[in-house]
Chains A and B, each alone.
Chain A
Amino acid sequence: MTLLSLAHVTKTFGPTLALDNVSLDVAAGEVHALLGENGAGKSTLLHIAYGLLCADAGSMQVGGQPCELFTSPAEARAAGIGMVHQHFTSIPALSVGENIALAAGWPETGKRAERRAASVVARLSLPLDPTALVSALSVQLRQRLEILKALAADARVLLLDEPSAVLAPREVRELLQTLRAFAASGGAVVLITHKLDEVFAAADRVTVLRRGVVTYSSPTAGQTPATLARAMLGADLPRTAPRAAVAGDVVVRAESLTVGSVQAGSFELRAGEIVGVAAIEGNGQRELLRAIVGLDEVGVVGGTLRVTGPVAFVPEDRTTEGLIPEFSLAENVLLGMVDGADRWLNWSAIRARTATLLAEFDVRSGGPDTAASSLSGGNQQKLLFARAFERAPRVLVAEDPTRGLDILATHEIHERLREAASLGIAVIVHSADLDEVLALADRVFVVANGVVREMPAAASRDAVGDAMLGLSPQ
């Protein structure tokens, strides 16, 4: 039975056609993956289904009954639709039970809310202590809370917007099992993801959007990653040239190093190699990377750290740490070079150089004088890489450089990282996505619970994943 059906949905934002005559059917017992590049319209479609956005045209059915398109999330929830957003929406200072009560619209508060939430937790068999404070929960448990909140009001349809972005591999697997179990109990799931392996692991059907148009909709069985990627991009993903790892001079040398509260130990990094740092947020990788960059926010409290500069840094948060959004692109390029700038600035030279970089790194923009805030996330990241290369660095440190980027932009960033290594730069790249680390890195470091260790070259994917979670090797 079709639980949720959207038909001929069209949505425009100003002159932009975000969704063009899109239809989506999700049956009971089905996990339906929704794929597409950034800006393809995936989130827009789910937001319309959840009543967060109003479509210009289209119709929907819920549980086989035709109904008006929702105009608010409250209507969607009343009709049995729950949504898990890309970013956590819980209140850290409240308990799990209180957050569930808020989301479900229960009148209870405090202990009574927690008691009522306990019954939901039991019914959905998603173990989580209703009295625990959200601020004390791990990332995985917060995600579980988001699902509990979405399902608390007896939802039969669960919409999820990139739920796996923040999770470790083992946690992703558990999440997908949870979704499968929910579908097996008669529910329907729509899952937005960028990761094709998740589609094959969990989805019965897949719908691909490209620029607001459905380019593909079929059962997952019989598809391959290549066919789906082609449907998303409209073309094949460019091939990656094989890269021979060349280890050159030692450019980073740490001895019995402790930075802040992180025990980094002893290691050497060489020119021309890519070192992947696998870690889940908040385990100490930030301290390690920033100590190598030489930022004074974390101090070396023990041992020694020698870094041969110049060092280029692509920070995690593009718009508060990497760029000044209201500054022009030329000013933002200068920002990364300001330590070597002349006392008097030669703006025509800086503008000209910026224009060259924008062309070389394929940054889509209105030119050197446009504000950085006008760029998309992928183009902002390309600008940051252009600036990093411009420093002619010996060491390049990149924090989670593909977070939030789509397949094509991710591919371009990966190519830049490989290019940097082949130019003889020691590349240190952190990612919360284990597959990304494994795909890029010549050597893998894992940071868990404030301890850094290098994984043996032969370590399996699962062994690295377990190490990320701080589990001891079996």
Chain B
Amino acid sequence: MIVKGFLTRAARRDLFVTAGAFILGLALLALFLALAGFNAGTAISALWRGAFGSWYALTSATLVRATPLIVLGLAFTLASRGGTLNIGMEGQFALGATAATWAGLHAGSLPTLIAIPWVLSCGAIAGAAWMLLPVVFRLRFGVTEVITTLLLNFVADAVVSFAVTGPLQEPTHVYPQSATIAVSAQLPKLVDGARMHLGLPIALVLAALLGVLLWRSRWGFTLRAVGAGATAARVSGGIATASVIATALLWSGAIAGLGGAIEVTGVSYALYQNLSPGYGFTAIAVALLGRLQPLGVVVAGLLFGALEAGAGAMQRDAGIPAVAVQVVEAVVILTLVVLTRRGAAER
């Protein structure tokens, strides 16, 4: 029923186009590897094995990688639907992770049912708080959030760096990382012997929730109206655009912060520097690839998670640098941009 609401004919066509772009990207990667003298067949099969080749690859690599990409892709989607660009998800993710680590370190006495919501909430609140400055700058001084959120990424980096060498450093003060968070604050594993954790269902529920809110609620409608036509929303809808923009940005920051908290409580159990290997930027591609539709973001997140998981296997088994996968990602996005442009021109 939910799917029926936002999977319009156009959305189905978008999904089809996305899948086509992905296959084309893989084909071009194979061609590129063959030209470079690698055995393309070996490479692609290693990529496949690393991503879907075994139950273990799927549940311990692909789905684990996909989780933060989906969550952050949803954060970007929400902001974009409200007409704003959140380029600072990397920073909000880091702040969310930091806050969740702090809360998780002090959650030893709490039962799991309370500890996990508490720790995740701390992450979301920190992510939203990290967005306060961009919101104020945008609404008070007209400074675009593209600049402020991007710059705050570097500040967030410094905050994490300070935290793991200062207040949150592990007790021996040797390594630049935090101690392990309390067991009660760790997300439960879903499958025995696999790294997949509760974060994935949380991400899926979040996607469904976002879909319903954006397309079924008045709140979501005003948000989309401001994003698609701010002047018409104000003049014809009497919508207070400033408060909608603030809401979109703050919730986007909260979701990104939640993403960081899920990564700490589900995967790393501790805070490190560079906890995110660029999830905050890859997720922009995920969201665009998913055509800013929650279901599309889930599909795109799974595909990108698979690519990243497969890249590791490709490096191990075929000796091809993992960055080659970024070529696929770039090809996919460029193909999609070209196809969408052409589609728009034809309409």
Contact = CB atoms under 8 A, between A and B. Distances in A.
B236 A315 contact: yes
Contacts of A335: 225, 232-233, 236-237
B216 A344 contact: yes
Contact of A345 (B216, B234, B236): B216
A287 interface: no
Contacts of A313: 235-236
A356 to B, nearest CB: 20
Nearest to A334: B221
B144 interface: no
A338 B232 contact: no
Interface in B210-244: 216-219, 221-222, 224-225, 228-229, 231-239
A25 to B, nearest CB: 38
Nearest to A326: B228
A426 B228 CA distance: 32
A325 interface: yes
A355 B238 CA distance: 24
A321 B236 contact: yes
B221 A338 contact: yes
A295 B235 contact: yes
A334 B218 CA distance: 10
B236 A336 contact: yes
A341 B216 CA distance: 12
A200 interface: no
A273 B316 CA distance: 81
B232 A345 contact: no
A339 interface: yes
A73 interface: no
A344 B225 CA distance: 16
A459 to B, nearest CB: 32
Contacts of B234: 295
A325 B235 CA distance: 14
A273 to B, nearest CB: 25
Nearest to A336: B236
A323 B115 CA distance: 48
Interface in B298-335: none
A339 B221 contact: no
A320 B218 contact: no
A342 interface: yes
A243 interface: no
A234 B224 CA distance: 43
A327 interface: yes
A334 B8 CA distance: 18
Contact of B218 (A324, A327, A336, A343): A343
Nearest to A327: B228
Nearest to B239: A338
Contact of A344 (B217, B233, B236, B238): B217
A179 to B, nearest CB: 37
B236 A322 contact: yes
B237 to A, nearest CB: 5
Contacts of A344: 216-218
Contacts of A331: 221, 225
A366 to B, nearest CB: 12
A215 B55 CA distance: 75
Q: Which 6 A-B pairs have the closest CB atoms?
A: A324-B229, A321-B235, A335-B237, A338-B237, A324-B228, A324-B232
Given A326-B229, A339-B238, A345-B216, 15 more contacts: A320-B231, A323-B236, A324-B228, A324-B233, A325-B229, A326-B228, A327-B224, A331-B221, A331-B225, A338-B225, A338-B238, A343-B217, A343-B219, A344-B217, A345-B217
Interface of B: 5, 8, 216-219, 221-222, 224-225, 228-229, 231-239
